[in-house]
Amino acid sequence: MSVQKSTVIFAWILLLPAVLYVMAIVAYPLVDTFILSFTDASLRKTTNWVGWVNYEKIFNATFAEVILRTFIWTFFSVSIKMIIGTFGATMLNAAVPGRSLFRLLTMPPWIVPMAIGIFMWGWMYNGQFGMISGLLQRFGLTDGPVAFLAYGSTAFWATIITDVWIGVPLVTIYFLAAIQSIPKDLYEAAWTDGAGRFYRFRRITLPLMVPAIITMSMLSLIATFNSFDIIWILTQGGPSGQTTTMIIDTYQTAIGSKKYGEGAARAVLICIFLSLFCFAYFRVTRRLNPEKRA
């Protein structure tokens, strides 16, 4: 046996525990869910093979609205996080007194347990004793209490604001690390040539942040698309389904209605969408990296 072949075998032996772990934790549940999506599994003891019936059921006008709402919710949430994160990282990188304190103050939304942070926002959105409604009434902007979570339009944006509040700290710190990795010589050369602050940001900072922005956008997109806690704790998909996203609809179908087959079909559809997102991400990063493109 050659040295190269024995090295390959030894490498596979080292990888075997990780491969078995992935097979047990990821591959098996994924395959089992895919098979379950072709059955009428429920609380009944008998489970029958129904083919594509579960997929035919979900492709209707109601679920189309759920899909559209999920994409809109994800788009606005991720976009706002990227914009605020970029602006915040730029400000935190500025040479101003007390910037270490400002960096520390960006972390509480990320450090505080998610459920506690969501409940806090739920209290602030309350129309009777919520802080936001109280401030609006105090400044004469509303005639009476505003129950933000009781109306579809306001509840939808309330969940987005909460998700942005939770996600912005991580985005900001990640972008701050990306900015600080940019060589200072580029800024010094641009400053010597008379380039202004905005010009340096537009022609140096932003272009060199593109890989970090794409990576964080993809990670945030996947997390936001799969976000369950925020919507469920605040509205449980209400009112009248106006905040129901695909992950909420899947939970309500599989766990709430005990229709495991239909819920599995919805889960498979979510997996397909996320796989397409990942495929697009790898295509974009491959084009941005000349070495991988060659």
Give domain status of residue 24, yes or no.
no
Give domain status of residue 164, yes or no.
yes
pLDDT band at 174 (very low <50, low <70, confident <90, very high): very high
Alpha helices per DSSP H over 181-289: 184-192, 197-200, 206-225, 229-234, 246-251, 260-288
- How many domains does the structure of the chain reveal? 1
152 pLDDT above the threshold of 50: yes
39 vs 101, more confident? 39
- The reported pTM is 0.86
Q: What local confidence, expressed as pLDDT, does residue 204 receive?
A: 87
46 pLDDT above the threshold of 80: no
- The residue-averaged pLDDT of 110-122 equals 89
Listing DSSP states for 193-208 in one string gives TT--HHHHIIIIIHHH
3 pLDDT above the threshold of 70: no
Give domain status of residue 160, yes or no.
yes
Q: What local confidence, expressed as pLDDT, does residue 7 receive?
A: 81
- The residue-averaged pLDDT of 260-287 equals 87
Q: What local confidence, expressed as pLDDT, does residue 289 receive?
A: 61
Give domain status of residue 13, yes or no.
no
245 pLDDT above the threshold of 90: yes
- The residue-averaged pLDDT of 154-158 equals 94
pLDDT band at 294 (very low <50, low <70, confident <90, very high): very low
Do 229 and 167 contact (CB within 8 A), yes or no?
A: no
- The residue-averaged pLDDT of 135-151 equals 87
Q: Cα separation of 71 and 53, whole Å?
A: 25
Q: Cα separation of 101 and 83, whole Å?
A: 22
pLDDT band at 22 (very low <50, low <70, confident <90, very high): confident
Give domain status of residue 219, yes or no.
yes
**Rounded (5°) CA angle 236-70-77:** 90
Q: Cα separation of 149 and 172, whole Å?
A: 28
168, 171, 287, 283 alpha-carbon torsion, rounded to 10°: -60
- The residue-averaged pLDDT of 78-94 equals 90
Q: What local confidence, expressed as pLDDT, does residue 109 receive?
A: 80
Which segments within the chain are labelled E, that is strand? none
169 pLDDT above the threshold of 50: yes
Give domain status of residue 29, yes or no.
no
CB burial readout 234-250, b (16+ within 10 A) else e = bbebbbebbbbbbbbbb
Do 124 and 131 contact (CB within 8 A), yes or no?
A: yes
Segments forming the whole domain that contains residue 75: 62-293
12 pLDDT above the threshold of 90: no
Give domain status of residue 262, yes or no.
yes
1 pLDDT above the threshold of 60: no
Q: Cα separation of 188 and 257, whole Å?
A: 62
Q: Cα separation of 273 and 221, whole Å?
A: 11
Give domain status of residue 25, yes or no.
no
- Give 114's Cβ-side CA count (13 Å radius): 13
- The residue-averaged pLDDT of 89-93 equals 86
Supply the mean pLDDT for the chain. Answer: 86
Q: What local confidence, expressed as pLDDT, does residue 160 receive?
A: 96
pLDDT band at 141 (very low <50, low <70, confident <90, very high): confident
Which of 42-46, 181-185, 257-261, 280-284 shows the lowest per-residue confidence on average (mean pLDDT)? 42-46
Which amino acid belongs to residue 63?
F
- Cβ-based neighbours of 97, under 8 Å, separated by 6 or more: none
Q: Cα separation of 41 and 76, whole Å?
A: 36
**Rounded (5°) CA angle 65-67-71:** 115
Domain of residue 221, CATH code: 1.10.3720.10
